[in-house]
Chain A
């Protein structure tokens, strides 16, 4: 079973062409993905996150057995962000929230995130962050939230990428409520993380279609090539995410 915990549904972003939900699901299925967490991309840079949350909801309504959504809000919107989080989970059935601090122009460790994390705890959903790039999304900036809110589930969406993976590893060792997502993560980092943190807190994501329409093959092969047991690979490729999201 392959559950892709990190995909983006969008129409156009810079020179990247997105696709509609139908093509999106067809392409994932053709690469043997059994289900996916879908998130916005355009919504990170536009004021009205409601509009993009509604778009994600339309996609999950169309493919309820296949897609679940992580919405987004702008932390600076204050109480508006909180009520939108409640709408996303209670009315739209979303399973978590995604933040991209540098695209959304806030600092992951900033005070405006505190009520957001508290609300996520109240709603019992995880928060997934882009991480691995300064100045707003270093792995330890996000880990600071995990430190302040031990009851929150915080997913490092790229496990530090190339430049911050040692910080991400450190963060996961230090804070048990951190989940490491292998998504654009270097091979050396995945090996060390599985060895030191254990496969239970590692989940798979592809970033589809940002790294190309055929990126699933590449991302899955990175996991399959790891020198770990088949059980550990299965856990990382799907079972852990299923457990974390209560799917």
Chain B
């Protein structure tokens, strides 16, 4: 079985630090064949280009192990849209928003303009969720309903107290996928009950959480073998276009 970590970080963030050597070692020791990476901290807030360049370099060095998403702060407007297009032309495969750090609502005009570019580029959009005031599931739901052709990944399924709305949002907007980092096991089970296993993606958010912790959670989920395979890799492979 191939395991894909659908969301983790790479780079020299102020708080989140991980280089590609350590990342690949951790993947190897946990049987993870592929990881979707993006930058964080100062790189997602302000230094988008510097962060993206490091991701572009890492995925070009390890194309069979890593897929990269671009970070763009919606406040950069047209400059941000240009950066997104540059990243996609340079080999990145999606957009990663962290409105908690970027300071805007999912429903804001500046976000919608950026998502319009993601729609034209036909790329998936990862969104950190669970942090009030700017990163809650129902905001993402409204955005997803307005862009039905864009696939949105609801990062950490609204964890912590946003979980109440995570299932509701994904049930209402069929283009929302739920990523499992931090989510307690019964909350993942609840999401599966509401939307099925097809739209659940395993992710670690490492180095925030860890592959060890997050994989153990999926193992402890009461699920058949096929369901586990889908969550651990097949769903992400299909959505993001990763060959496994």
Binding site for B on A (CB under 8 A): 15-16, 102, 132-135, 158, 161-163, 166, 184, 186-188, 207, 210-212, 214-215, 217-218, 221-222, 225
Contact = CB atoms under 8 A, between A and B. Distances in A.
B186 A218 contact: no
Contacts, number: 70
Interface of B: 15-16, 100, 130-132, 156, 159-161, 182, 184-186, 189-190, 207-210, 212-213, 216-217, 220
A186 B209 contact: yes
A102 B160 CA distance: 13
A158 B156 CA distance: 17
Q: Which are the 9 A-B pairs with shortest beta-carbon distances?
A: A212-B185, A211-B184, A133-B161, A187-B210, A161-B160, A214-B220, A163-B131, A188-B208, A212-B186
Contacts of A212: 184-186, 189, 220
Contacts of A186: 182, 208-209
B208 A16 contact: no
Interface centre among A132, A134, A135, A163 (most CB of B within 10 A): A163
17 contacts: A132-B160, A162-B159, A162-B160, A163-B100, A163-B131, A186-B182, A188-B15, A207-B184, A210-B184, A211-B184, A211-B186, A212-B184, A212-B185, A212-B186, A218-B217, A222-B213, A225-B212
Contacts of A225: 210, 212-213
Given A162-B130, A163-B130, A217 B210 contact: no
Nearest to B186: A212
A226 B5 CA distance: 21
A163 B15 CA distance: 13
Interface centre among A132, A158, A210, A214 (most CB of B within 10 A): A214
B131 to A, nearest CB: 5
A15 B190 contact: yes
B208 A102 contact: no
Contacts of B160: 132-133, 158, 161-163, 184
Contacts of B159: 162
Contacts of A162: 130-131, 156, 159-160, 182, 208
